[in-house]
Amino acid sequence: MNSKSSASLLRLSWSGFRLYASRSPPWGFQSVSGTPAASSRLPHVSSCERHLSSNVKVRSYLQYVKRKIISPPSPPYGHVCQVGDPVLRSQAAAVDPAAVTAPEVQKVIGTLVKVMRRLECVGLSAPQIGVPLRILALEYPERMLEDVSPSSREARGLSVQPLRVFVNPQLRVLDGRTLRFQEACESISGFSATVPRYLSVEVSGLNEKGEPVSWQASGWSARILQHEMDHLDGVLYIDRMDSKTFININWQKHNE
């Protein structure tokens, strides 16, 4: 896609995943599979509140009135999409390199970093904020490292990492050996499991300025990269976990 074609910004159809509500976000992107990906949200219905044998949407009167008065938010969201949202299982589309510095893509990157820092997580991908584009960010600030014991730092290979943004990242395995550690995800809130990851990887792509960059990562940084790269391919850690280690991180509170 050339600069002229990316200027005539693409629009995703409501028949796919919903990427916008009343107006479409003009993100410049190229589909990996040839079909644009997108996002949608499904209403949450607790099994404790409703027992349904169909996919009929159930909303309270308050929710109905709220939706009549306030339009639903559109991506990029200021929150993290939860498992069940089709955007988390879609193949994210490549961004047109000429569009990386465009306001629309910069808004996605800015929102991604803002949400990641607000939630104090160490990595986040664009699909997690409802945008099926191949963009990820990671950061491990010093204040987080201060809360970790020296023994845990060494065992996990933790180190301070500045903010890094990768657009259209490509991953190459440098050390094929794996380590298993407990892993969590903002899109599967409240749960955790042991996941094997490669010891060392290299990522290459474009930064937020559209400049070519590459980075070799090991230890926990390599784990973060692999976790976020999975998101771009519609893969969640639950697809790779040891199912017997899957836990609700607040299980003890339920017994008190």
- CATH number, residue 172: 3.90.45.10
Q: Is residue 71 part of a domain?
A: no
Name the domain count of the chain: 1
Compute the Cα dihedral for 196, 207, 25, 119 and give only its sign: positive
Q: Which domain holds residue 145?
A: 86-254
pLDDT (0 to 100) of residue 39:
42
Q: 3-state class of 110 per DSSP? A: helix
Rounded to whole angstroms, the Cα distance separating 249 from 26 reads 39
Please report whether residue 220 resides in a domain.
Answer: yes
**Residue 63 is assigned to a structural domain of this protein:** no
Whole-angstrom distance, CA of residue 210 vs CA of residue 187: 27
Task: For residue 40, tell me if it sits in a domain.
Answer: no
**pLDDT at site 28:** 52
User: Residue 207: phi, psi to the nearest 5?
Assistant: -90, -175
Q: Among all residues, which ones are annotated catalytic?
A: 228
According to DSSP, the residues that pair with 164 across neighbouring strands are 138
- What pLDDT is stored for residue 61 in this prediction? 80
User: Token pair of 229, please?
Assistant: 């790269």
Instruction: Please indicate, yes or no, if residue 77 is contained in any of the structural domains.
Output: no
Provide the whole-model pTM: 0.75
> What pLDDT sits at residue 16?
40
Alpha-carbon distance of 81 to 132, in angstroms, equals 12
- Tens digits of per-residue pLDDT, 106-130? 999 999 999 999 999 999 999 999 9
Q: Does residue 152 sit within a domain?
A: yes
Flag residues of the chain having pLDDT under 70.
1-59
Q: Is 4 inside any structural domain?
A: no
Tokens of 92: 């994210």
Report yes or no on 120 lying in a domain: yes
pLDDT of residue 49: 41
What per-residue confidence (pLDDT) applies to 73? 86
Look at residue 12 in the predicted model and tell me its pLDDT: 38
Q: Whole-angstrom distance between the N-terminal and C-terminal Cα of the chain?
A: 58
